[in-house]
Amino acid sequence: MSVIIDVGNCIQLLRSCSAVAGQQLHQLLLKSGHVPSSLPPSNSLLLMYARCSPLHQHDARRLFDEMPVKNCFSYNSVITSHLNSRDHHAALNIFRSMPERNTFSWNTIITGIVSTGNLDMARSLLIEMPVKDPVACNAVLHRYVRRGRADEAFALLRTVGQCSGADASSPWNDPFVLATIVGACADWMKYDFGRQAHARMVVSKIEQDLVLSCALVNMYCKCGDLDSARYVLNGLTQVDEFSLSALIYGYASCGHLHEAIRLFDRKEEPSIAMWNSLISGCAFACCGNDAFALFARMMRSDVLPDSSTYASILNVCGFSVMVNPGQQIHGCGLKCGAVNDIIVASALIDFYSKCGLWEDACRAFRELRFHDTIVLNSMITVYSNCGQIEEARRIFDMITGKSVISWNSMVVGLSQNGHARDALGLFCEMHRLGLRLDKVAIASALSASSSICSISFGEQIFSLATVLGLQSDHVVASSLIDLYCKCGSLANGCRIFEEIDKPDEVLWNSMLIGHASNGYGHEALELLELMKTKGIKPSERTFIAVLSACCHSGLVKEGLTWFHRMQADFSVSPSAEHYACVTDLLVRAGRLEESVEFIENMPFEADAVSWTTVIGGCKAQGNEAMMRKVAKKLMEMESSHPSFTLSYFHVLCCQPIPGPHVGGSAAAKDVNKWLDEIIGGYDSSIREFHGGDDQKLLISLLKILCRHYGSSVHLLGLIHRRRNIEFLSNSWLQGIAGPEMAVTKLFSSCKSSGAHKGEYGAIVHCMKNIPSENQIQATAKEVQNPLVSGRRKEALQ
């Protein structure tokens, strides 16, 4: 016996009921015989199942299969149900089986396939669609743009436009499609296509609503056509804040600050968005002082800056190395609590990092209450750059959801800090875990391979890069060239270079450095001439490679010629590194007096590295008089920078001291007298340890070593000249005695005088690990025989 029910009322209830109530109504309609024989209630049930949880997909499909009569609505509903449950293959099969399809059917299946990310299938369906509907077209185009495939989106729109012709319903005439395309042109700087889209609007007399007009203003501003942006803005009946902000940013970012401020002042009470547009535009144009002045004006106008404001101003302060203004911004952020915002904190850490203030960057990080992956990734780079690789590894290990950037930052940090094997181990772990290896990871691993001169491992990595399709990437190719050149295989480096289509400046520089490091100076100069004929403009790094090549090949005349030409012919101002190369060039040629004159005539104060280069040349030529003169200059330098201190320590180790160096009995009294004379030259009433007198500290340390070891001072000099201070560690730590107490007492007096431990850096670490007297004496005996017989390399090892 059938149950009598009100079918119309059931259909009304099915439009808004839950899945449970819908199933109960399904049972009633089934008992009454209306389902599946009657089409309206059956379609209503299908729509209810499609609208509710994807768990009811099978109920919808079972009902669909039981229906004797189906129409487009039935097919569309069950397709929607399958798409909601992520069963796209079943949805596509049902779509293909439809006897007839309407526009909704096409839009449903295309938007559903787009949501899966299968753009190739979505594109083919859109081309197949008999009448191109703007909804489906916009869905495909938007996903192409989101994926960074803007050129393919433009090509698809051209194809669709040709299929639709001049039809008024063509996607080319739809405001939403045009807004998507114009927005893509703005993001990807596709000025020509953006102008074509604008011309299409004018020719087709498409009404430009507020969204479309804003998109056009933004596109023209980002592409640098401010006149066209202003023209569009003047054509608006009502100027909205977004369009005005876009134009203000455009003028400011192009350096037209006065025009940007004139537009900005048109608003009586500008919002925070307009302030941010003006400040971020100045930041983009690297007008740090102007951005800081606008920030101060903003604070006076009682408009509180938000996280975007702080991020913009800190970014430009970091880029322009404006330490004091950046620190003032930091103070403002502390007062209002903005530094607790993760975006501001990340910008603050980046600011201190770019200014080389690593300790301040670490302090800003320690003051954070919460961390995200972006900040932790930044701190891996910070700690790596300041040599605290253990702390960088600790930060890496505490990241729960490591991104590819986290892994790459750690691999780069390990490689840069001399832990090449650890870097390669981490790279192998990335590969084992199936992480996406990009060009940064591949290049870093190749750089680590070059550090340990492992061609075999580097070639395996490059094979992997080939499988990933990165073999033609310029960054990867440059790293591979560096690997071959550092391992002495210049021919293979040249082969890789010749296989690259249109090599850029980085690749040319890699080849120049490769020729320089392998002693092919004349070939490097020929390569430079070829580089010029290819239209590649030489940069600072190019001339560093050229001067290095001349230095290693003894081409003094050519090196000096190119040093003078780099500014006259190429407008490249010589940096400290260029001057250091020329100094090394003159020293290697034995022209010591000329090198000293060259250093003294530098446009900036010479650093300790330049003077120690001269000292090395003096020692090689036995010119002790000049070496003492240069050493005196180093002693007179007033700086607490670690490079000066380490270089001065190097000079002291290199200077000849009374008594034999290895073997025999050292004249300890003469050595101590010599050191006492140096210390006596200091005015103790003025120069105290708390004044940052690292040099006096080092002299005292040397005196302790001489007093306890005598004959071993020269051995310490040998070790230091290897530039591997951490060599005095691990197995050397056993049996520390004798001078340890004297050194500890010396540093204790420094601390009690207010000296900061960080001022002495690696020297403190080195001196803490001084080996015992027995160990040094045993080593001295082993070193004596090869030294006497002239086997210096064996003695050093």
Task: Please provide the average confidence, as pLDDT, over all residues in the chain.
Answer: 81
Who's near 592: CB < 8 A, 6+ residues apart?
Answer: 586, 614, 617, 618, 621, 623, 626
CA–chain centroid gap for 543, Å, is: 25
The label of the residue with tokens 């006497």 reads: 788
Cis preceding linkage at 503, omega within 30: no
Q: What is the pTM of this model?
A: 0.65
User: Is it the case that residue 312 has pLDDT exceeding 90?
Assistant: yes
The label of the residue with tokens 């004798």 reads: 738
Q: How far is 508 from 20, CA to CA, in rounded Å?
A: 70
Which parts of 540-623 fold into alpha helices (H)? 540-553, 556-568, 576-588, 592-600, 608-621
How would you label 484-498 residue by residue, b for 16+ Cβ within 10 Å and e otherwise? bbbbeebebbbebbe
CA–chain centroid gap for 761, Å, is: 27
Q: How far is 364 from 362, CA to CA, in rounded Å?
A: 5
Q: How far is 197 from 213, CA to CA, in rounded Å?
A: 12
The label of the residue with tokens 């959801």 reads: 401
Confidence of residue 370 (pLDDT cuts 50, 70, 90): confident
Q: What is the pLDDT of residue 323?
A: 94
Q: How far is 185 from 195, CA to CA, in rounded Å?
A: 9
| Inter-residue contact 270 to 299 (CB < 8 Å) | no
Which parts of 355-418 fold into alpha helices (H)? 358-366, 373-385, 389-398, 404-416
Q: How far is 354 from 366, CA to CA, in rounded Å?
A: 18
Long-range contacts, stretch 485-492, CB < 8 angstroms, 24+ apart: 485/510, 485/513, 485/514, 485/515, 485/517, 485/518, 486/450, 486/453, 486/514, 486/517, 487/450, 487/453, 487/455, 488/518, 489/455, 490/514, 490/515, 490/518, 490/520
Number of separate helices (H) and strands (E) present in the chain: 46, 0
- The percent of residues above 90 in pLDDT, for the chain, comes to 52
Confidence of residue 773 (pLDDT cuts 50, 70, 90): very low
Q: What is the pLDDT of residue 60?
A: 92
Instruction: Supply the DSSP symbol for 720.
Output: H
Q: Is 695 exposed, middle or buried (0-12, 13-18, 19+ CB in 10 A)?
A: buried
Angle, alpha carbons 676-679-682 (nearest 5°): 145
User: Is it the case that residue 1 has pLDDT exceeding 80?
Assistant: no
The SS3 call for residue 225 is coil
Over residues 69-120, the pLDDT tens digits come to 999 999 999 999 999 888 999 999 999 999 999 999 999 999 999 998 899 9
User: Is it the case that residue 479 has pLDDT exceeding 80?
Assistant: yes
Q: What is the mean pLDDT of residues 203-229?
A: 90
Q: How far is 519 from 370, CA to CA, in rounded Å?
A: 52
User: Is it the case that residue 3 has pLDDT exceeding 80?
Assistant: no
User: Is it the case that residue 759 has pLDDT exceeding 50?
Assistant: no
Other C-beta atoms closer than 10 Å to the C-beta of 731 total: 7
Q: How far is 270 from 418, CA to CA, in rounded Å?
A: 52
Q: What is the 3-state secondary structure (H, E, C) of 405-460?
A: HHHHHHHHHHHHCCCHHHHHHHHHHHHHCCCCCCHHHHHHHHHHHHHCCCHHHHHH
Q: What is the pLDDT of residue 628?
A: 79
Q: What is the pLDDT of residue 622?
A: 82
Is the model more confident about 290 or about 760?
290
Q: What is the pLDDT of residue 775?
A: 53
Other C-beta atoms closer than 10 Å to the C-beta of 265 total: 9
How would you label 446-458 residue by residue, b for 16+ Cβ within 10 Å and e otherwise? bbbbbbeebbebb
Other C-beta atoms closer than 10 Å to the C-beta of 87 total: 16
Over residues 26-35, the pLDDT tens digits come to 999 998 888 9
Domain map (residue ranges) of the chain:
1-100, 575-641, 760-796
Long-range contacts, stretch 213-218, CB < 8 angstroms, 24+ apart: 213/243, 214/240, 214/242, 214/243, 214/246, 215/178, 215/179, 215/182, 215/183, 215/186, 216/182, 217/243, 217/246, 217/247, 218/182, 218/183, 218/186, 218/243, 218/246
In angstroms, the Cα distances linking 595 to 253, 604, 612, 625, 655 are 45, 15, 12, 15, 20
Instruction: Supply the DSSP symbol for 235.
Output: T
User: Is it the case that residue 261 has pLDDT exceeding 90?
Assistant: yes
> Which of 473-487, 720-734, 755-769 reaches the highest mean pLDDT?
473-487
- The percent of residues above 70 in pLDDT, for the chain, comes to 78
Reference 446, options 471, 469, 548; nearest CA is: 471
Q: What is the mean pLDDT of residues 435-464?
A: 91
Q: What is the pLDDT of residue 502?
A: 87
Q: What is the pLDDT of residue 744?
A: 47
Instruction: Supply the DSSP symbol for 10.
Output: H
Over residues 422-431, the pLDDT tens digits come to 999 999 999 9
Is the model more confident about 673 or about 90?
90
Q: Worst-scoring range by mean pLDDT, 46-50, 70-74, 394-398, 774-778? A: 774-778
Confidence of residue 789 (pLDDT cuts 50, 70, 90): low
Q: How far is 790 from 69, CA to CA, in rounded Å?
A: 102
The label of the residue with tokens 């449970």 reads: 20
Q: What is the pLDDT of residue 782?
A: 61
Instruction: Supply the DSSP symbol for 732.
Output: G
Confidence of residue 774 (pLDDT cuts 50, 70, 90): low
